[in-house]
Structure 1
């Protein structure tokens, strides 16, 4: 009976999927397809690699009882006008089925389904539909579909349709959609459709000249339909150092599901008064209303009291910083070893931490706790609400998930505190929001948000965000070098490098030692289990260290663009306990059969390549039309020391002395012989967060100088 029931369910499911497949095909390519015969492009785009004749995006949100279905789809009809475009569209990768991350329970109805349709239209109008199910092959969990016999002049017409069902009786925020209107190819016709019904709240707006969303009348008052349409959209360029949403025509939207007034209040987003209204803007009052309910001082301060016993500080600022680093361990890094052990399935570690251990898993839990600490210590503070600069201005805020929250402690020199990572520093603002306009939630008597105003967040300088290296080169019988590189990182460059370089053992055990806390394995009292767990964890760490070393060696080779051997790496100082504390590392390796060429009794050395690879700006980039958006101001200082072999001298130093500086940044280099050493010093820096396109040529000037330096050589000759 059970087997028959399962077979029946399978047959029913297969039948439904087949019906869905037919309906999806009809949706895009059916009788109402007004682009079925469209095959010409405007003369102005005849020389483009490809032209999108029609692009359709479709989103549908539907509920029935406890069941919710989210549908998203895209169709593109593209004319291929050169071989590059033919190559681009000769293969597709996609997934046919997936398990919804929104669903709960088990069975067939957890599973979402994707449909793909592909056809090629020849210049004479002949259509060749590809059977994706038969022609595709699975590779690493993805379907690979090769499109054979594509030719210049063909049209490829494809769609991707995803149906995702799940159950929800509460509230749910769907993933936001934020994208430029244009594509990498010109678009003749674009249509975006959005369909919702009661209990689905929509935040939607367009920016930078994109057309507005229009509501389409529906027969049912509980249903809503919207459309955004545009024609003749020029192609978008996406160069380096650019934030598309900051200046390109674009749209942003998010749909939030909430079944009742109770869940509307709990919803994780800025909701309109009624689901019948599109919310287009988020005002100061919205910010105040939303976060006034989210931030409430609370927590157990006993661990901080124990930490502070017997300690004295020169100021509240010093006290706050030390408490911040202690809490980063007490409520964050202290548990990271356990997460690693649990993920590796060595044993279940969390039973050793007692009932309900506190781990700060969100900005809200972090802020609420520090609100309580500051309130009890009668220290004035505010809460900052900001959005990353790549999203555009805070004035255009629409999506709650784009918000970054932090605390500003109003001491003599304000201290900024942000939610923990293993590397965050007190006083250092997330680089994505610094130098931007933000909201300040003013807190009355340390316990309640009473008002909201705006503020310009502080900036950092290229001197603060710095990377300094000292590289010593010793010739190895004129066949290669022994290299020692000492590196020092500060500011945002430090935090980025820590993320790239550190594994949990690089800092967790450092924190255990600093704060005298109990390591995970010390909780295990059973001698046999402890020995087993210790061996397994040591084996895991050793494997991770081997992988780490391999990754570092590969990264170093990518920096220099040549192979290295005998690679060793050491962290001298983690730099984790203060903004002015540097991350210090040391690498040693050898470079063999590279960079040195014999010319009679002389040796030509490509010394410039020891600066590491630099940005080469090609002609296409030089013709840039967009403005320039930097992550943050930063500087790179290098000292390269070559030990000159006895009996030899150096020539060719004049090309190693360069200086290009202007209001956007600069590159300088000096080279001189001191005793038996050639000492080269370089300094490259980017001064600002933003440059207009008019200043691009000034940036190119110092970028080209830095790149040219890497091409320079010196000559070693006998005295």
Structure 2
């Protein structure tokens, strides 16, 4: 229903979802720091003085002695301490540290001290205002001898400031050792207002470590708020207490077993969990409203589906030429395409309509807009419903039939356990001989793109035509293959003439399918993809030329030119970061970088870019010889922890995918290569493969590596097959080559 309200305001709302957190536009307000310290003292007193028996137990049962860590007690609270719509979210854990892996995990906490909550735009931060969330962190370390040390978030240091000026802080836990217990809390306080009158909580009843006791407490003012929740996947229900002007929900579970949550699991489909909304209530229900002082539990999933269908039909029926922006221009583009491509197929016309509307909503620039042409622009998107309603309107007007697809993403709830209408996401599917699925997942989405999270899901169909008012059955969304989602690296290695320990790398990277979006967001420049799309649509003048021709906007054209130049200077940093992602370190020298293909349309399914750089750290001198850590050149590989090797949970991976590394090493004159035969691997089964071949030709060693995850899902019984290929890749990373002096 929130989407329904949005469409009444503006059918094609541009959502620039990059909220600027911790942005500092003025000198630091010393009063804010004083206020933070004062409130922190109050928070720690409140939390440490609370009587919760589980936090007094620091003894690990014998059956958990072999665990890396044991969560002795965990408590999560969601409370509204007064009627001023203030919300406190508190998580507290008491953990026994049993080994070095757990010590590393709990040795520090990363957080944003201040975080802006806003509805969109590039906003600035005002500490302690009603638009800002403030986070407090504290920890007590208990030693086996009974001594205790404390540390708090006012001692945290800034560790990173990103391009959006967001500050990341880290609170280190000094003196923490194996055998200690750490009792820590994270408290975030913010206000709920009518612009942000909704909070969504997910309480997962499980962790990577066993939990002896897990408590959840929710308390909200009856006069202001309403509560609604769903217990999923066998989770127990809350105990409710309403009265005394407060609504309270409580739950306590014990002896929760460890689960590999961070390794290919899907909590929404596999774990007991609670989804909960706390929202500002009203005196009446309806149109998405909830009655104040009321608890709504475990709603009917079929009813929610029917409501989602009804909302979509209502939105479709409201779509008309009166509320579609720039409709005249869209029609001109479509008419010209039909004149120039009289033999175009239905699929080609549908794609053209898609790209025209994408351009108008995300690529087009108007004089009054804020100048945003750097990497932030790459994360822009359109409201899913508004965009696809617009596309469908144009399809109908051009005699192309399509259905709406209401899909519950695979990392969300199943249809049988939906909680709200927004659990359904939207696509379009043409009904011709070659059905085309259309989605709206961002500025680089092509006309035939199906998000990985939608693949394989059963989804209700709603006719896109103006007369139908109900579902017409369901469809199974197509699934991509590993061949559709590829990352291919072509790498040429040579050794420095003056310094053999410096490795020179010429690299060409090609990505397709689900791999494209991340690389496009990281590397592309708005100036380049705007120009490409403008020319593809036959638009004669760029907005820069239009501004320059206008006396009123001439200065603005110059401002954009400076912004474009700054963004292009920053692109080098984007490529440096990308190289670091692959090779785990920055290059010594970045000699060249270039985008070859941007992959903006279905007719150009590949994104391709080249880099040339030099790296240290891969070659070590050994007397007259050199040792090359060849296995590390394919980047970091997954290492399965001992606790994860036995698995009872089914395997949910993001999508089927393949990685290829075609490596060519120029053997220096006067040297021979030993150890190439040890690189070879050949693991190939129904779940995946890891195959390495080597050959020597014309003074070069050629190594071809191919790693494939053949499916996005595998039952737990197939886990040993995946382990084979994952282990083979991890073992390969340890392999070395010897360059032996002849």
Which TM-score band applies after superposition, normalised by the shorter structure?
0.7 to 0.9
CA deviation vs aligned residue, 1:105-154 (integer Å, no higher than 9, x gap)? 999873766666655667787887x5959x74664768876666667766
Moved more, 77-86 or 174-183: 77-86
Distance (Å, rounded) in 2 between the aligned partners of 1:115 and 1:648: 59
For the Cα contact (< 8 Å) 1:50–1:79, is it kept in 2? Answer: yes
In 2 relative to 1, CA 39–466 (structure 1 residues): closer, same or farther, beyond 3 Å? closer
> Which residue is 1:352 aligned to?
none
Using a 3 Å threshold, how does the CA distance of structure 1 residues 516 and 398 change in structure 2: closer, same or farther?
A: same
Considering only CA atoms, is the larger Rg found in Structure 1 or Structure 2? 1
Aligned partner of 2:403 among 382, 403, 406: 382
Match of 1:202 in 2: 227
Q: Secondary structure at the match of 1:524?
A: helix
Q: Partner residue of 2:329?
A: 303
Q: Does 1:43 align with 2:73?
A: no
Match of 1:186 among 207, 210, 213: 210
* Cα deviation 1:238-267 (Å, max 9, x = unaligned): 3433323331222222234342548x3055
* Alpha-carbon offset, residue 167 of structure 1: 4.3
Residue 577 of structure 1 is matched in structure 2 by 601
Q: Distance in 1 between matches of 2:145 and 2:731?
A: 52
TM-score normalized by the length of structure 2: 0.78
Q: 1:663 aligns with which of 686, 690, 694?
A: 686
1:135-150 to 2 correspondences below 5 Å: 136=155, 139=158
Partner of 2:296: 277
1:694 paired to 2:694: no
Give matches, 1:181-330, under 5 Å.
181-196=205-220, 197=222, 200-219=225-244, 223-261=246-284, 264-266=286-288, 275-283=294-302, 284-296=305-317, 297-298=319-320, 299=324, 301-308=327-334, 309=336, 310-311=339-340, 312-330=342-360
What is the alpha-carbon distance in structure 2 between the residues aligned to residue 593 and residue 117 of structure 1? 38
Q: How far apart, CA to CA, are the structure 2 residues paired with 1:400 and 1:654?
A: 57
Matches within 5 A, 1:148-547: 156-168=182-194, 173-196=197-220, 197=222, 200-219=225-244, 223-261=246-284, 264-266=286-288, 275-283=294-302, 284-296=305-317, 297-298=319-320, 299=324, 301-308=327-334, 309=336, 310-311=339-340, 312-335=342-365, 341=371, 361-419=382-440, 421-443=442-464, 445-446=465-466, 448-451=468-471, 453-474=473-494, 476-477=496-497, 479=500, 482-517=504-539, 518-525=541-548, 533=556, 536-547=559-570
Cα distance between partner residues in 2 of 1:364 and 1:337: 26
Q: Secondary structure at the match of 1:332?
A: helix
CA distance in 2 between counterparts of 1:648 and 1:123 reads 57
Deviation at 1:574, TM superposition (A): 1.1
Contact kept in structure 2, 1:553 and 1:564, CA below 8 Å: no
Distance in 2, Cα, partners of 1:609 & 1:147? 32
- In the TM superposition, what whole-angstrom CA distance separates every residue of 1:559-592 from its partner, at most 9, and x where no partner exists? 2456453431111121212165321222223456
TM-aligned CA deviation for residue 231 of structure 1 = 1.4
The alpha carbon displacement at 1:288 in A equals: 2.1
Matched residue of 2:87: which SS?
strand
Ranges in structure 2 where 5+ consecutive residues have no aligned partner = 1-30, 160-166, 375-379
Counterparts of 1:668 and 1:151 in 2: how far apart (Å)?
A: 41
Instruction: Give the structure, 1 or 2, with the largest relative contact order (CA under 8 Å, sep 6 or more).
Output: 2
SS at structure 1 position matched to 2:297: coil
Equivalent-residue separation in structure 2 for 1:182 and 1:156 (angstroms): 19
Contact 2:656 2:709 in 1 (8 A): yes
Q: What RMSD, in angstroms, separates the aligned Cα atoms of the two structures?
A: 4.4
Match of 1:8 in 2: none
CA contact (8 A) 2:679 2:694 kept: yes
- Structure 1: distance between partners of 2:344 and 2:44: 69
Deviations 1:297-348 (A, max 9, x none): 332542232113222243111111122122211221123998662589xxxx
CA deviation vs aligned residue, 1:520-544 (integer Å, no higher than 9, x gap): 3333358899776555544443443
SS in 1 for 2:471: strand
- Alpha-carbon spacing, 1:201–1:315, altered in 2? closer, same or farther (3 Å): farther
User: CA shift at 1:49, angstroms?
Assistant: 5.0
Give the distance between the partners of 2:548 and 2:105, measured in 1 at CA: 60
CA–CA separation in structure 2 for the residues paired with 1:360 and 1:605: 44
Deviations 1:454-487 (A, max 9, x none): 3221100111112233333455548355433223
Question: Equivalents in 2 of 1:690, 1:564: separation in Å?
Answer: 40
Alpha-carbon offset, residue 662 of structure 1: 0.7
CA shift, 1:28, in A, is 6.5
Which residue of 1 is the match for residue 22 of structure 2? none
Query: Are 2:664 and 1:641 aligned?
Result: yes
Q: How high is the TM-score relative to the length of structure 1?
A: 0.80
Matched residue SS, 2:287: helix
Distance 1:598 1:503 in 2: 44
Contact 2:547 2:554 in 1 (8 A): no
Aligned to 2:575: 552
Partner SS for 2:532: helix
User: Does the 8 A contact of 2:237 with 2:251 survive in 1?
Assistant: yes
Contact 2:659 2:708 in 1 (8 A): yes
**By how many angstroms is 1:237 displaced?**
3.0
Cα pair distance change 1:526/1:80, threshold 3 Å: same
Verify the 8 A CA contact 1:471 1:486 in the aligned structure 2: yes
Show the counterpart of 2:77: 58
